[in-house]
Amino acid sequence: GSVPCDDLSISDIWMNHPDVRDAMHAKSVSEIGEFQICTNVLLYHHDAGSMIPIHKQLMGEGLQVLIYSGDHDMCVPYTGSEAWTRDVGKKIVRPWQAWYVKDQVAGYTVTYDRNLTFATVKGAGHTVPEYKPAEALAMFKRFLAGKP
């Protein structure tokens, strides 16, 4: 229901306004209750285990994969993503290098075989497009275009 260190009043106000619900074709507060950015109603079970075997399987299907990390995030730190991608990727096809947006270093990236790329976004927190919107969009565009 709440998130430490974040002010969520904008989403709380906007998403619970009847005119907004109506405009978005969403059920009203009286029908489905108040919107919360994160809910406590779920009783959630993590039953899928580690994602690593699944990533390996999917990479075998020829899918294009980008794993990125805002490098200021302490919640899911980049060190974990860097480690598992390194172990899964094995063979480096494009070594570590900086990547740039408007001549500024936006982060660092490495590409492994089987279309797996790991990239950091320098100075970004947990929610990368929020902290570094321009860099996030640039990264997204390059990924979609199949560019480094």
Partner 1 sequence: GEDSAEVKSLPGFDGEFGSKHFGGYIAVDEKHGRNLYYYFATSERDPDTDPVILWLNGGPGCSSFDGFIYELGPFLFEAASSKSELPKLKRNPYAWNKVANVVFLDSPAGVGLSYSMTPTDYNTSDLKTAKDTHTFLLAFFTKYRKFAKNPFFIAGESYAGIYVPTLAREVVQGLRQGVEPKINLKGYLIGNGCTDNVYDGNALVPFVYGMGLIDSDLHDELEKVCKKNYWQVTSPKCVELLDQMDEDLKDLNMYDILEPCYHPDSHTYGGGSRSRGREETSGMEGGAGGRGEEGGNKFERKSLKRPASLVQFGDGGGDGGEEKEREEREEREEREKEEGNGHAEEEKGKPEEKGEREEVTGMTSLGGRVMKLLPGGLLRLGSQGAAAADAGEQEPKARERSEEARLEGQKTREGGAGVEVEERRGEGGTTGRGIAKKGRLPESFLQLGQERR
Q: How far apart are CA 103 and CA 106, in angstroms?
A: 9
Which distant-in-sequence residues (6+ apart) come within 8 Å of 41 by Cβ?
none
User: Is position 115 an interface residue for partner 1 (rule: CB under 8 A)?
Assistant: yes
Helix (H, G, I), strand (E, B) or coil at 23: helix
Single residue of 48, 95, 103, 147 touching partner 1 by CB under 8 A: 48
Q: Which of residues 67-86 bind partner 1 (CB under 8 A)?
A: 67-70, 72-81, 83-84
User: Is position 11 an interface residue for partner 1 (rule: CB under 8 A)?
Assistant: yes
Q: Which stretch binds partner 1 (CB under 8 A): 13-21, 89-97, 104-112?
A: 13-21
- Sheet containing strand 92-101, edge to edge, reads 92-101, 104-112, 116-121
User: Is position 99 an interface residue for partner 1 (rule: CB under 8 A)?
Assistant: no
- Which tokens hold the place of 31? 């029908």
Single residue of 40, 95, 102, 103 touching partner 1 by CB under 8 A: 40
User: Is position 24 an interface residue for partner 1 (rule: CB under 8 A)?
Assistant: yes
Distance of CA 65 to the CA centre of its chain: 12
* Cβ closest to partner 1, residue 28 vs residue 97: 28
